[in-house]
Amino acid sequence: MTTAVAAERLGVSQRQVQRLIGARELPATRTAGDAWLVEVLAVNAMARTRPTRGRPWSPATAWAALWRVSGLEVDWLDRRTRRRLDDRLASIDAEELVHATRRRAVIRRYRASETFIADLEGLVICTGVRATEPSTFGLEQNHGPVDGYCTSEVATRLARDFHFAEDPRGNVTLRVAAVPSAALEGRDSVPVAVIAADLAESLEVRERSAGLRVLKDLLR
């Protein structure tokens, strides 16, 4: 769909849609006439998780929220800020949490040769279906597309070394995390609330439902 239709669907301005495209929150492609066409499924998914009130939180607060919901300690916020965040989490619902924490990373999607997939899996911190526990999410682990977090430097290096081509429906999703590096250091996968939030933003109905269900359980 055009940016004008996407803006109407999301209840925002065309300029805001262009910002979302620039931040890689909405996958889009340019036409021969240099106009943007936005993926319909991505717009519909964002519309479902975009409450009419409240702006997304800062990256530091977003990560802290998902850490706290996962039952983990947070050392990059002061005690007073953590207490305010805990009070907010006590009254938020799953879809509001997904919206509030969407600035946790910049998403980059690529197409890579299938021969590289096995090597790539060990170079990022897994999330999404690749990182799910079937008993928790009710989904079978998918060892196809790569989906993981990394730093901006790692994302740039991987794109160069593995000859990635940008593709909004590609088989590699890199989430450039805006989080203190110590929080993810040494991890093979992200905490359960991060996985759930990532699934809740999926274009696949089963994945989105599983992510929201787990977040609801964690927020109780």
Convert the pLDDT of each residue in 62-103 to its tens digit.
Answer: 999 999 999 999 988 999 999 999 999 999 999 999 999 988
CB 194 within 8 A of CB 104: yes
Residue 44 C-alpha from the chain's centroid: 15
Distance, CA of 149 to CA of 155 (rounded, Å): 9
212: confidence class by pLDDT, cuts 50, 70, 90: very high
What's residue 94's pLDDT?
95
**Average pLDDT over every residue of 2-29:** 86
Task: Please count the other Cβ atoms lying within 10 Å of the Cβ belonging to residue 129.
Answer: 23
* Gap between the Cα atoms of 179 and 5, Å rounded: 33
Task: Let me know: does 120 contact 158? Beta carbons within 8 Å.
Answer: yes
Structure tokens of 16? 């805001």
Please determine, for residue 51, whether its predicted confidence score (pLDDT) is greater than 60. no
Q: Which residues share a beta bridge with 110?
A: 166, 172
Average pLDDT in the chain:
88
The residues near 21 (Cβ < 8 Å, ≥ 6 apart) are 3, 28, 36, 38
Residue 31 token pair: 């036409």
Residue 180's pLDDT is 66
The CA-to-CA distance between both ends of the chain, in Å, stands at: 38
